[in-house]
């Protein structure tokens, strides 16, 4: 069936050339209870949502500049998007890592114990979560069965899509001092 479909296809492009106005659509996971699609212009996504190819420095101005930065080796960041990759948080985290030429660690499912073991084993430096729904189980593990897990490589814990409360954040910081 695939070979037949491929053979019947046309090599002609049925759409206009690529442009900064092309749309990227993220279908949100429905954290608020109302799943929806969010549209970004490609250029806006690159410079706003993805940090312009350099989330820790000045945004690039040309694709060539991005290629040069990546070839130079970047900052040695290991990104770990913990929500499912279909979630905007993980999609953008992974894209930032890819565009910045950095290492991106992925896993199949959010299991708090596995997330903490992965942070320790892979020396993750930047982990993304979806609020207290993900941070609270990590705190519980660090208070219990995984007390003493080495998360000292972390320098960034980010949240998108839901609130990371001050109280849970403080508990995590007390368990994972920087």
Once rounded to an integer, what is the mean pLDDT over residues 144-169?
93
Tokens 């890592």 appear where? 97
pLDDT at 63 over 80: no
Tokens 């080796």 appear where? 73
| pLDDT per position as a tens digit, 19-32 | 989 999 887 766 66
To the question of domain 62-175 being in CATH 3.40.50.980, the answer is: yes
Environment class of residue 87 by beta-carbon count within 10 Å: exposed (0-12), middle (13-18) or buried (19+)?
buried
With CA atoms as reference, report the closest residue to 24 among 8, 12, 37, 42.
Answer: 42
pLDDT at 118: 98
pLDDT at 30: 64
> What is the average pLDDT value for the chain, to the nearest integer?
87
Q: How many CB atoms lie within 10 A of CB 127?
A: 27
| Domain residue spans of the chain | 62-175
CA separation for the pair 174, 120 (Å, rounded):
17
pLDDT at 178: 67
pTM for the model: 0.81
Distance (Å) of CA 148 to CA 1, 62, 105, 116, 118: 54, 44, 22, 10, 14
Once rounded to an integer, what is the mean pLDDT over residues 101-123?
95
Tokens 């690159």 appear where? 46
pLDDT at 170: 96
Phi, psi of 28 (to 5 degrees): -70, 155
pLDDT at 114: 97
Helices 166-175 & 131-143 angle (0-180, nearest 10): 30
- Are 116 and 80 contacting, i.e. CB atoms less than 8 angstroms apart? no
pLDDT at 169: 95
């Amino acid at each position: 069936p695939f070979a037949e479909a491929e053979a019947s296809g046309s090599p002609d492009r049925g759409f206009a050339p690529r442009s900064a106005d092309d749309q990227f659509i993220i279908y949100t996971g429905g954290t608020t209870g109302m799943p929806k699609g969010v549209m970004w212009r490609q250029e806006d996504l690159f410079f706003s949502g993805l940090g312009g190819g350099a989330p820790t420095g000045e945004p690039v101005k040309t694709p060539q500049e991005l290629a040069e930065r990546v070839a130079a080796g970047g900052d040695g960041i290991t990104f770990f998007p913990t929500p499912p990759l279909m979630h905007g948080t993980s999609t953008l985290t992974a894209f930032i890592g890819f565009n910045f030429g950095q290492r991106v660690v992925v896993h199949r499912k959010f299991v708090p114990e596995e997330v903490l073991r992965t942070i320790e084993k892979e020396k993750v430096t930047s982990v993304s979560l979806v609020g207290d729904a993900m941070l609270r189980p990590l705190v519980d593990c660090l208070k219990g069965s995984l007390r003493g897990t080495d998360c000292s490589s972390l320098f960034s814990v980010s949240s998108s899509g839901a609130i990371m409360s001050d109280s849970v954040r403080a508990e995590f910081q007390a368990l994972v001092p920087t």
